[in-house]
Amino acid sequence: MTDKKIWLVTGAGRGMGTDIARAALDAGHAVVATGRNPDRVAAALGAHEDLLAVALDVTDPASVRAAVDAAVQRFGRIDVLVNNAGNFYAGFFEEVTPEDFRAQIETNLFGPLNVTRAVLPVMRAQRSGLVVTFSSTAGITGGEFTSAYVASKFALEGWSESLTPEIAPFGIRTMLVEPGFFRTELLTEDSTRYPEPSIEDYAERTRQTVTAWKGMNGQQAGDPAKLARALVQLTDSDTPPLRWAAGADAIAAFEQKAHQLLAQADAHRDLSSSLAHDDATANA
C-alpha cells in the first residue's frame, strides 16, 4: 500500500473543481476529473500521467455510471469522491419559477446523490473511502434571494449526516465542506441564473440585489487554490472532519448559527418541556 489515492472530482472543468483536481495531482494522487465537456477538463488541467478526464453529467445516472466504470477500469479503485459540481439559481422565492427551483435541486442535491450512489459499491468492496460533499455556509443558514440554493444545500447537509453512520461500518467516511465566499466562478453567467423582475413588489429589490451580487464576482476574499490544498491535507489525515468550515467567514457563520440555536432552544424552554403526556410525567 502507498499513500497515493485515486480521486474522482465532479465539476473539474473550471473553478473550484479545477483547483481541487490540480492540488490532488500536485500531492501525488491520481485524479479522475469529470465534467460535461471532458475536452474542457483536459484543457484546464493539462497533460498528466495520473489524470483521466471523463465526461460526466451529474443529473444523468447513465453518464455517472459510465464515468465511475471508466475510473475503475483505469485505476482499479476510487478512494476519494469530491462532489463539487453545482450551480446557483438566485432570486426571491416568488420570482423563482417552479421549473428553476426543481432544476436547482436536481443539480445540487440529486447530482451528488447520483454520483455517490454509483461510487459507494466500489468503496464498500474496498472497505474504505471518503465521500467529500461541497455544501456551503448556505447549508447552515438561510438568506434572502437564495431560497432555492439554500434549500438544495440544507438537503445535502441532512443527507450527508444521515449517510455517515450508514457507511461507517464499511470503513467509508464522509466530509461536508462549507465554504464562505471564495473567488470562484459561481457568480459568473456560466453558473448563476438570475430572475427577471416579474412581481412589482420585488422589482426594485431584485434589481439592487442582482447588481450587488454581480459586483461581488471576482472580489470574494477566499482563495480557491488555498482551499484546495487544505482539502487535500484534510483528506490525507487519519480523521477527516465530518464538517469543515472553509474560510474565516464560514467560522463566523458556524458560530452565529450555534448561538442562534442555543438562544432559540432556551427562549421557550418551559413551554417546550411541558408537552409530554401526563402519564409520562407521573411515571418519571
How, if at all, do strands 6-9 and 51-55 pair? unpaired
Q: How far apart are CA 231 and CA 264, in angstroms?
A: 33
Given the residues 5, 63, 89, 135, select the one marked as catalytic. Answer: 135
Given the residues 5, 89, 149, 202, select the one marked as catalytic. Answer: 149
Domain count across the chain: 2
Mean pLDDT of the chain: 91
- Tens of pLDDT, residue by residue over 20-68, are 999 999 999 999 999 999 999 999 999 999 999 999 999 999 999 999 9
Q: Are residues 242 and 261 in the same domain?
A: no
Residue 89 among the catalytic residues:
no
Q: Is 51 helix (H, G, I), strand (E, B) or coil?
A: strand
For residue 283, the model assigns a pLDDT of 65
Q: Are residues 177 and 211 in the same domain?
A: yes
Q: How far apart are CA 7 and CA 190, in angstroms?
A: 25
Q: Decide if 200 is inside a domain.
A: yes
Given the residues 5, 136, 153, 194, select the one marked as catalytic. Answer: 153
Q: Is the pLDDT of residue 219 over 60?
A: no
Q: pTM above 0.85?
A: yes
Cell numbers 480557491: residue = 224
DSSP state of 197: P
C-alpha cell at position 253: 457563520
Residue 202 among the catalytic residues:
no
Q: Are residues 211 and 277 in the same domain?
A: no
C-alpha cell at position 94: 416568488
Q: Are residues 170 and 258 in the same domain?
A: no
Domain of residue 28, residue span:
6-246
Q: Are residues 277 and 198 in the same domain?
A: no
Q: Are residues 145 and 277 in the same domain?
A: no
Q: Decide if 277 is inside a domain.
A: yes
Q: Are residues 39 and 130 in the same domain?
A: yes
Q: Are residues 230 and 177 in the same domain?
A: yes
